[in-house]
Amino acid sequence: MRALPVKPAKFMVLFTLCILTPGIFSPRLSYAKGGGAGYGGGHAGGSSSSEQPAVQSSSENDQVSHSEDAKCFTDEVVDIPTRTGVTQRFLFLSPPDPKGAVILFAGGDGGLHISSNGTMAWGSGNFLVRSRQLFAENGLAVAVVDAPSDRGSLSGFRQTLEHAADIKAVIAWLKQRSDVPVWLVGTSRGTQSAAYIATQLVDKSGPDGVVLTSTILTDNTERPVPDMDLGRLKVPVLVVHHERDGCKHCDRVLLPRLMKKLNCAPCEELITFKGGRDEGDPCQAFAHHGFNGIEKEVVQRIAQWIKSTK
């Protein structure tokens, strides 16, 4: 597949994601009560001051364990030009010979506020964000996207042509970096980004597949995923859900409607999970909504599906 021309990206400061000690753990930000990554990254109305993370030592609730022989991949902060006068920032990490690439969309308001040294002002506890090392360990290049430079968040922006244009540039950058399939992976409100963008970028400039985790099935503020024009999808779609997801907008009884709408995709599958820990608000990232305690299993299944699906 021919990669689109992209202006040179600006690389920022690098920082190490994991600690090279036996029983590696990714350093995390610990959230105050009510904070974290609810709705996959924040409450539906966006983050409030009570949801801002305080820097503390890692706890059992906000760290993802890795095997002792797991490699440590480094986050690179990348800025690329997109629309006129706008840049898109993301964290990038990759194994030496990736078999695919994933663009990860956090939930909540999506405004990670990634700094030049790779730290985040918000959202580091989100399921996908805290599991990014696991995707790299499973042979995938990873881009964790922030809000673009002209916005502080993705609230009210996820289902716009401007958002699609920004991610189109990220897809092109990844394909130029490594000529591999690029998939969009969203969690909670991030599924509204991934699904919408895939319905808009239906030519070679678009993604090669979509993964929806903890999908927004109902919503009173923005269009839920099943209400989108999913018949436009031209790529495989994997739906991942916890059987006991307690978030009111992600009721598993509504999954059949979503899967029916995905019948036009060339390949679709629903994978559900059990187990793990259920802590805090049911729409937050350390409840079953965020696959707390089973991240490794979930990411491994997602990666296997991506690498085996043509």
Closest CA to 133 of 183, 71, 181: 71
Residue 41 pLDDT more than 70? no
Residue 54 pLDDT more than 80? no
* Within-domain flag for 220: yes
Structural domain harbouring 79: 10-308
Query: What pLDDT was estimated at residue 42?
Result: 39
**Residue 121 gets which letter from DSSP?**
S
Question: Phi and psi for 157 in degrees, rounded to 5?
Answer: -120, -15
Residue 138 pLDDT more than 60? yes
* Within-domain flag for 296: yes
* Within-domain flag for 1: no
Provide the domain count of the chain.
Answer: 1
* Within-domain flag for 146: yes
Tokens matching residue 102: 């994933």
* Within-domain flag for 5: no
Averaged pLDDT score across all residues of the chain: 83
Mean pLDDT of 67-86: 86
Query: What pLDDT was estimated at residue 5?
Result: 43
Beta-strand ranges (E) seen in the chain are 10-16, 74-81, 87-93, 100-105, 140-145, 182-187, 209-213, 237-242, 268-273
For the packed helices 190-200 and 161-177, what is the interaxial angle rounded to 10 degrees?
Answer: 80
Model confidence pLDDT, tens digit, residues 174-209: 999 999 999 999 999 999 999 999 999 999 999 999
* Within-domain flag for 2: no
* Within-domain flag for 189: yes
Residue 54 exposed, middle or buried by CB count within 10 Å (0-12, 13-18, 19+): exposed
Q: At 121, which CATH number?
A: 3.40.50.1820
Query: What pLDDT was estimated at residue 12?
Result: 45
Residue 136 pLDDT more than 90? yes
Q: Give the list of residues 6+ apart from residue 104 with CB closer than 8 angstroms, or none.
A: 128, 129, 132, 135, 142, 143, 144, 145, 185, 186, 187, 190
Mean pLDDT of 68-77: 80
Percentage of the chain lying above the pLDDT 90 cut: 76
* Within-domain flag for 90: yes
Residue 35 pLDDT more than 80? no
Mean pLDDT of 96-104: 97
Query: What pLDDT was estimated at residue 64?
Result: 63
